[in-house]
Each structure stands twice: as C-alpha cells, then as structure tokens.
C-alpha cells in the first residue's frame, strides 16, 4: 500500500522515505534503515510494562511482559528512543506516551538522549472511564512526555479550548471582551484560552465507531491534538509502535505524510485496513 516511493535514500533525504507504508518489523531495525532527520513528528505509544497478557479480538496475544522488570523495559526503550532522536528533523518533536508507573524513569532516559533543555511538556491525558479503586484515588490518566529536537526551533501551533471567565470584563463596540492594562486593552482570544497540558478526552468506548478491536487502541481525538499542535500539512509523521494505526489514520486525514511500523502482523493488517478505509471515506 502507500502513496509514496519506497526506496530508502541517503541521510536527510526525506523524499526517499517509505511514505504511506506500514512495516512489520522491530522498530529499532526499521528506524535504523531510515535517513536521519527525515521525520517532523514522532508519536509512540509503546508497551507500558503492564505485565498483563492481553488477547486481541482476532485471538492473538498482545505481549507486554517483562520478566527482567523495569531494567529490561528501559533497556528495550533506550536504543529505540535514541533512534527516534536521530530520525527527527531540526524542527521535529517526539511524544512518548507512557503511564504514571514508568513515566518518571522514561523521562530520565529521555533527558539523557535529548537534553533537559529540550523537554517541552508532560501532557496529562485524563479520562474517567472504567472501574474505580476504593484503596487509592482512581488511576485515570496517562502521560505524554514531549521533547523537541531543538527547543525553540520546533513546530508548535497553539490549540484552544474552553472559555475565559468573562464576568466583570469590559466589552468593546463589537462586543469583544478585554481588560485594561498599562499597555492598553488586552483582548481575550475569540476561540478561547490556549490549551493547557492537561487534556480531558474520553477513553474509547466499547462501541465507538473508530474501534478496531485491537487492544490498547487510543482515541483519534488525542492524536488530532498531537498532530495539530506539532506538525504542518505535508510534514512527515511517524509512529514506530503504530498498533491499530490511530496516528497514521489521523495523519492521513489531516494531510500529513506518514509512515508506520509494528512488530505484530495483526497490528499491521489492522492499521493497513484502517488507513485504506479512511481513504475511501475521504473520496465521498
């Protein structure tokens, strides 16, 4: 499948990327075969070290077991995160989606690879679905660690949501809210405040139209924010742990060039079918 060329060219040669293709491979080998500096945005949602075996809808296993514990998990991630650093363009950004049990360890690894100064955000993805413990506060968030290849030179678009508190504010002749400051009128953006690093997005329901049946599938709404904030149309978006292809499907819909990889044949088949179905929908 795919819309682009499939040859792999010299370092930095983004035109020779396997755009629109999903490889079935260990992503370390896959990334090592790609030219340096070729990706503008990389999002990963790797195994979380849950140590809980899960069965896919097709009867396959999604294996997230680490007999060697945290050390084995971090030893797996580190070379792959380093490969992502090599792949990012000068204005590129990496999002690493993990959970609160490992996020602080993963951040230390990322600080070592990217440098503390290139850390941009710890985004909290908050959701309310599922059961609730009575022994501790219900654990209802994931963590996205966000790093720039070179902070300051990275692509970033302010996203907006929510509303300002407008009681007591002034309104001008056109009804726009403002407050008076020493420098004059400070207007409130008509589309609401700039988005914070805490994102309230519902988890996928069991009957959501976008659900593919692949375990651990993430909501498209989450990837819309990641891709919308940190890339431009035509940019190259990569997901080396693509699972059911959520990143790739959203990237396609938003007009980005994309490439993906997963070690599971079932994931790759699911993602390929999903992207193809999305393309058909866009024809009408």
Ligand X SMILES: C[S@@+](CC[C@H](N)C(=O)[O-])C[C@H]1O[C@@H](n2cnc3c(N)ncnc32)[C@H](O)[C@@H]1O
What is the closest distance, in whole angstroms, from the C-beta atom of residue 265 to ligand X in the complex? 9
* Least gap, CB of 161 to ligand X (angstroms): 22
- Rounded CA gap, 141 and 100, in Å? 8
Q: Does 263 bind ligand X (CB under 6 A)?
A: yes
Size, binding site for ligand X by CB under 6 A: 19
Please give the Cα distance from 139 to 125 (Å, whole number). 11
User: 109 CB contacts (<8 Å, ≥6 apart)?
Assistant: 74, 77, 78, 81
Residue 100 Cβ vs ligand X, minimum distance, rounded to whole Å:
16
Tokens of residue 4, six digits: 């682009």
Site for ligand X in 203-222 (CB under 6 A): 214, 216-218
Q: Residue 157 CB, nearest distance to ligand X (Å)?
A: 22
Q: Which of 19, 38, 236, 261 binds ligand X (CB under 6 A)?
A: 261
Q: Which of 114, 147, 203, 241 binds ligand X (CB under 6 A)?
A: 241
Token pair recorded at residue 38 = 């070729």
Alpha carbon distance 217, 12 (integer Å): 31
Point out which span in 40-48, 103-111, 157-165, 195-203 binds ligand X (CB under 6 A).
Answer: 40-48
Single out the residue of 21, 40, 235, 262 in contact with ligand X (rule: CB under 6 A).
262
Segment contacting ligand X by CB under 6 A, of 100-108, 139-147, 183-191, 259-267:
259-267
Contact between 244 and ligand X (CB under 6 A)? yes
> How far is the C-alpha of 23 from the C-alpha of 269, rounded, in Å?
10
Which position's Cβ is nearest ligand X?
A: 243
DSSP state of 50: -
Backbone φ/ψ region at 267: left (φ over 0), alpha (ψ -120 to 50), beta: alpha
Alpha helices in 18-147 (DSSP H): 27-32, 69-87, 103-114
The interface region with ligand X, picked from 33-41, 45-53, 169-177, 187-195 by CB under 6 A, is 45-53
Among residues 17, 38, 41, 45, the one that binds ligand X under rule CB under 6 A: 45
Residue 214 β-bridge partners: none
Instruction: Tell the burial category of 138 from Cβ atoms under 10 Å away from its Cβ (0-12, 13-18, 19+).
Output: exposed
In the complex, the smallest distance separating the C-beta of residue 224 from ligand X, rounded to whole angstroms, is 13
Q: Footprint of ligand X on this chain (CB under 6 A)?
A: 26-27, 45-47, 214, 216-218, 240-241, 243-244, 246, 261-264, 267
């Amino acid at each position: 499948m795919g819309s682009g060329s499939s040859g792999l060219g010299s370092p930095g040669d983004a035109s020779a990327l396997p755009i629109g293709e999903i490889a079935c491979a260990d992503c370390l080998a896959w990334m090592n075969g790609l030219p340096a500096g070729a990706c503008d945005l990389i999002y990963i949602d790797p195994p979380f070290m849950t140590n809980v075996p899960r069965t896919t809808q097709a009867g396959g296993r999604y294996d997230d077991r680490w007999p060697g514990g945290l050390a084995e998990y971090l030893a797996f991630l580190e070379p792959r995160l380093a490969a992502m650093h090599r792949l990012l363009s000068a204005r590129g950004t990496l999002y690493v989606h993990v959970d609160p049990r490992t996020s602080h360890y993963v951040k230390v690894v990322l600080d070592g690879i990217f440098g503390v100064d290139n850390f941009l955000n710890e985004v909290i993805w908050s959701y309310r679905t599922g059961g609730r413990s009575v022994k501790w506060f219900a654990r209802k968030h994931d963590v996205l660690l966000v790093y720039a290849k070179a902070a300051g030179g990275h692509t970033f678009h302010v996203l907006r949501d929510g509303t300002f508190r407008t009681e007591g504010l002034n309104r001008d002749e056109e009804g726009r809210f403002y407050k008076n400051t020493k420098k004059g009128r400070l207007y409130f953006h008509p589309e609401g405040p700039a988005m914070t690093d805490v994102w309230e997005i519902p988890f996928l329901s069991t009957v959501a139209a976008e659900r593919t049946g692949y375990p651990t599938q993430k909501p498209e709404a989450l990837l819309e924010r990641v891709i919308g904030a940190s890339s431009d149309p035509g940019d190259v978006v990569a997901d080396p742990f693509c699972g059911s292809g959520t990143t790739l499907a959203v990237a396609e819909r938003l007009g980005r060039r994309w490439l993906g990889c997963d070690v599971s044949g079932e994931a790759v088949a699911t993602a390929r079918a999903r992207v193809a179905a999305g393309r058909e929908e866009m024809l009408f």
